[in-house]
Structure 1
Amino acid sequence: MNKQEIVHIIKSKITDKIQYFEKLIAETRASNNDTKSSMGDKYETGREMLQQEINNLQRQLNEVLNQQGVLQKITTDPCEKVQNGAVVKTNKGLFYIAASMGEITSENQKIMTVSTESPLVKAMFGKKMGETFTINNINQTIENIW
């Protein structure tokens, strides 16, 4: 399992998301400025709604920036147990524990990226190859850890 490739894919997705949110924020700010200059005070509600949208986008951007920070601290060294930076194969799927970025494909395998805060990771955290855990009344066995 090539962890460097997995990290590269995730970093690329994070960079794309950051650029996307920064662009949306800039466009929304620009439309907010247009509203200010061309409309009177009776359109304060519209400006406030645009400001709330900017705040919402900023929150989402901050979440992605936090994921980027988590990823920068992760090592690609092999892991002996389930921990941050581990690739874990269970009888139900393949998981990369780092930042939650959804499903990625590496070496023609689908890998679900999950955060250490997810219930799945909390259930398997610290376990070693061959151990089992239960989540949502489903037993899973850890088949391999990289």
Structure 2
Amino acid sequence: MLVKKCTSYVEERLHRLQLALKDLEQDLSNETKSSAGDKYETSREMINIEINKLQNQIQGFKKLKEILTLVEHRKSSTSIQLGSVVKTNQANYFIAIPVGEITTEKEKFYGIGLNSPIGQLLLGKKVGEEFNFQQKQYIIKEVL
């Protein structure tokens, strides 16, 4: 369920980015050289900069998709790792990709990356262990 929600999040954003990229590429091909050469070059360069930004964002979301593939094929473990669902006395976490709040029928989770500050604190811990984050004490209640 959590992987599906994260996958939908990534795919929806990838789709929007690809549509925006297509629009910009269309704008670039429609750009015609005018008598004001500098204006033409500046306009084309601005479009190219935006295309590069979108391409970088698309690559980032494709990497997130790869991480989700790893999460789907991970082996179960009692210690926290990529793909773990962690329930604490403060909040519930899904260690996968940074998607923010994920709501299921019964509970709320925070999708976080392994490299996030709290992800780093959770890594390798087991049920019953404690840690402090932002002046709060966390107790790990469950690791799935």
TM-score, normalised via structure 2 length: 0.90
Greater mean deviation of Cα atoms: 93-102 or 40-49: 40-49
Q: Tell me the SS of whatever aligns to 1:8.
A: helix
Which of 19, 34, 45 is matched with 1:23 structurally?
19
Q: Tell me the SS of whatever aligns to 1:39.
A: coil
> How far is 1:28 from its partner?
1.0
The aligned amino acid for 2:21 is: I
Alignment partner, residue 71 of structure 1: 68
Deviations 1:82-120 (A, max 9, x none): 110100011111110011112111233211100001010
Alignment partner, residue 33 of structure 1: 29
> How far is 1:76 from its partner?
6.1
Query: Compared with structure 1, are the counterparts of its residues 47 and 86 closer, same or farther at alpha carbon in structure 2 (3 Å cutoff)?
Result: same
| Equivalent runs, 1:75-94 vs 2, <5 Å | 75=73, 78-94=76-92
Alignment partner, residue 139 of structure 1: 137
> How far is 1:133 from its partner?
1.0
Greater mean deviation of Cα atoms: 98-107 or 74-83: 74-83
CA distance in 2, matches of 1:63, 1:102: 16
CA distance in 2, matches of 1:61, 1:39: 32
> How far is 1:140 from its partner?
0.9
Q: CA RMSD in A?
A: 1.5
Identity %, equivalent residues: 27
The aligned amino acid for 1:34 is: N
CA distance in 1, matches of 2:126, 2:110: 19
Alignment partner, residue 49 of structure 1: 46
Deviations 1:15-67 (A, max 9, x none): 111111111111011112212x2535222112111111111111111111000
Greater mean deviation of Cα atoms: 69-78 or 116-125: 69-78
* Structure 2 residue ranges without an equivalent (≥5): none
Structure 2 residue 9 is matched with structure 1 residue 13: yes
The aligned amino acid for 1:39 is: S
Q: Tell me the SS of whatever aligns to 2:86.
A: strand
* Structure 1 residue ranges without an equivalent (≥5): none
